[in-house]
Amino acid sequence: MFRISTNMPNDDIQYRLRRQEEALSNIQAKIAGQTKFNNLRDDPLAASHTVRYESYLSRLNRFEKNALYVKEHLNQTDAYMRQANDVLQRIREIAVMGANGIYTKEDMQAMGVEVNELLKELASIANAIGPDGGAVFAGDKAFSEPFRLIEGKVDGGQESMVVAVEYQGAGASRRAETGDGIYIHLDLSGGDAFWAEKMTVTSNYDATDYQVAAQGSFFVDGVAIQVTPGDNLSSIVAKINDSPAPVHASIDPDKHSLVFEGANPHLIRMEDAQGSTVLQDLGLVVPNAAQGAPNWNPSAAVSGGSVFDMVIDLRDAFYRGDASFIGGRGIGGIDLALNNVQTRIVDIGSRVERAESTWKRINADIPNVTAALGRESALDFATATVDLGMMDFAHKAALQTASKILPQTLLNFLR
């Protein structure tokens, strides 16, 4: 025969009471956290869906902010480009007047003064600082001045004037992610925005017997071109033309040297990768040049001017009183500049429209995902409140019952 200990009813009741207290605590925690589960084991399937929805919702919120930033940033760039277009349109109007040949030399010089002032305004636009403190057209070198103005004397001019403008910014490679693996380019570099003619760079180095000595690479407009030992000039040209870089490479038939020609008006940027000397060996760039263009080898033939080159040539023609140049190459150069600026405005506008469309789509997705997240994780307060009341009533009843059925101890007789 087994003896039944008087502690067994006490232990059993305390165990059951603690289970009730734990259940009561869980429902109170769910109400406080407004969620249907506190631990993954409460509802593993709903928990897994909730984790995925929360992750996706977090990404959507980030994409929404990125799309809004892209839209605002590109709108700022578009505004400056339109200002540049207006300045060039005014310069062209002056050029058309000056090409008539009916004005005196003094009149022509007066027109040249206005063109010179418009040139300064154009340079101010190109070196504009955006609301975030970075230069709008400096590319990846946002906190440096993109265009360097070189001053000197001009025949007929009364003061020191801008005689050349050099781009010292970088390419525009910044992108904003507006979807999983989806990106929109943020910037427009000054070497793209303020160029007029298709650029050509011709090396003076005879590369008939040239072969790459070691594995390496070089960059053309930010695009990496990989080379392997034994590659000759023809294979290098083929690799460049097969790449997405906006240039066409060829071999000069007389010099047997490498030639680059821009697919559109822009400043061609070239540099050797660290540890590689392919472009240097081919006579195109100089070693240890400062980052950014121009870094051409002095022996290379470089042609294709910027918007500033076109305006400077036109201004100088006004000071000379050369109506024939103004009516021919002068207006022609401004037309090239206007065409590129307007093309870039269209490109910026299309990116703005894409960012706007993306932003609207994401804003429509966020409520849908939020609703799905709520279905999986949100607590039904009506049911939870009823459950809490029932558990609280049952717990109180259990405490009262336990106080009556538990056996008396010595402490009861010491009162």
Query: What CATH number is associated with residue 191?
Result: 1.20.1330.10
Backbone angles phi, psi at 372, to 5 degrees: -65, -40
On whether residue 414 sits in a domain, the answer given is no
Closest CA relative to residue 95, chosen from 339, 307, 322, 265: 322
Are 191 and 205 contained in the same domain?
A: no
Query: How many Å apart are CA 373 and CA 371, to the nearest integer?
Result: 5
Are 222 and 324 contained in the same domain?
A: no
pLDDT at 292: 47
The owner of tokens 């009341």 is 389
Where residue 246 sits, what CATH number does that domain have? 3.30.70
267: left (phi over 0), alpha (psi -120 to 50) or beta: beta
Query: Domains in the chain: how many in total?
Result: 2
On whether residue 387 sits in a domain, the answer given is no
Query: How many Å apart are CA 314 and CA 231, to the nearest integer?
Result: 45
Are 235 and 299 contained in the same domain?
A: yes
Query: How many Å apart are CA 233 and CA 245, to the nearest integer?
Result: 18
Residue ending a domain, among 326, 344, 366, is 366
On whether residue 374 sits in a domain, the answer given is no
Query: How many Å apart are CA 102 and CA 248, to the nearest integer?
Result: 44
**Which H or E run includes 175?**
strand 175-179
Are 245 and 295 contained in the same domain?
A: yes
115-154 b/e with 16+ CB inside 10 Å = b?
Answer: bbebbeebbebbbbebeeeebbbbbbbbebebbebeeeeb
275: left (phi over 0), alpha (psi -120 to 50) or beta: left
Contacts of 196 (CB under 8 A, 6+ apart): 265, 305, 306, 307, 309, 310, 333, 336, 337, 340
Are 166 and 98 contained in the same domain?
A: yes
Residue ending a domain, among 283, 303, 323, is 303
Closest CA relative to residue 277, chosen from 268, 267, 266, 288: 288
On whether residue 264 sits in a domain, the answer given is yes
Are 166 and 290 contained in the same domain?
A: no
Going residue by residue through the chain (415 aa), what tens digit of pLDDT does each one get? 455 555 666 666 666 667 766 666 666 666 665 565 655 555 666 667 677 878 888 999 999 999 999 999 999 999 999 999 999 999 999 999 998 888 888 889 899 999 999 999 999 999 999 888 889 999 888 888 899 999 888 877 677 888 999 998 888 888 999 988 999 999 999 999 999 999 999 999 999 999 998 899 999 998 999 999 999 999 999 999 999 999 999 999 999 999 999 999 999 999 898 888 999 999 999 876 554 456 888 899 999 999 999 999 999 999 988 999 999 999 999 999 999 999 999 999 999 999 999 999 999 988 888 877 666 665 555 565 666 567 666 666 666 666 666 666 655 555 5
Are 313 and 287 contained in the same domain?
A: no
Query: How many Å apart are CA 120 and CA 48, to the nearest integer?
Result: 61
Are 74 and 186 contained in the same domain?
A: yes
Here the contacts of 8-16 (C-beta below 8 Å, separation 24 or greater) are 9/405, 9/406, 9/407, 10/406, 10/407, 13/398, 13/402, 13/405, 13/406, 16/398
**Rounded to whole angstroms, what are the CA distances from 47 to 24, 28, 37, 53, 378?**
21, 19, 8, 10, 11
pLDDT at 286: 87
Domain boundaries, position 248: 200-303
On whether residue 38 sits in a domain, the answer given is no
Contacts of 160 (CB under 8 A, 6+ apart): 151, 152, 153
List, in sequence order, every beta strand (DSSP E) within 181-239: 182-185, 200-202, 216-220, 223-227
pLDDT at 11: 67
On whether residue 30 sits in a domain, the answer given is no
Query: How many Å apart are CA 322 and CA 149, to the nearest integer?
Result: 25
CB 310, CB 196: distance < 8 Å:
yes
Residue ending a domain, among 303, 328, 347, is 303
List, in sequence order, every beta strand (DSSP E) within 210-349: 216-220, 223-227, 247-251, 258-262, 270-272, 301-303
pLDDT at 344: 96
Beta partners for residue 247, in sequence order: 262
On whether residue 115 sits in a domain, the answer given is yes
pLDDT at 131: 87
**Rounded to whole angstroms, what are the CA distances from 27 to 40, 237, 328, 387?**
15, 72, 85, 8
Query: How many Å apart are CA 239 and CA 384, to the nearest integer?
Result: 68
- DSSP H helical ranges for 34-104: 44-98
**Which H or E run includes 150?**
strand 147-152
184-204 b/e with 16+ CB inside 10 Å = b?
Answer: bebbbbbbbbbbbbbbbbbbe
Are 174 and 309 contained in the same domain?
A: yes
Query: How many Å apart are CA 188 and CA 172, to the nearest integer?
Result: 6
Are 181 and 218 contained in the same domain?
A: no
On whether residue 84 sits in a domain, the answer given is yes
pLDDT at 9: 65
Are 107 and 204 contained in the same domain?
A: no
pLDDT at 195: 95
Are 67 and 175 contained in the same domain?
A: yes
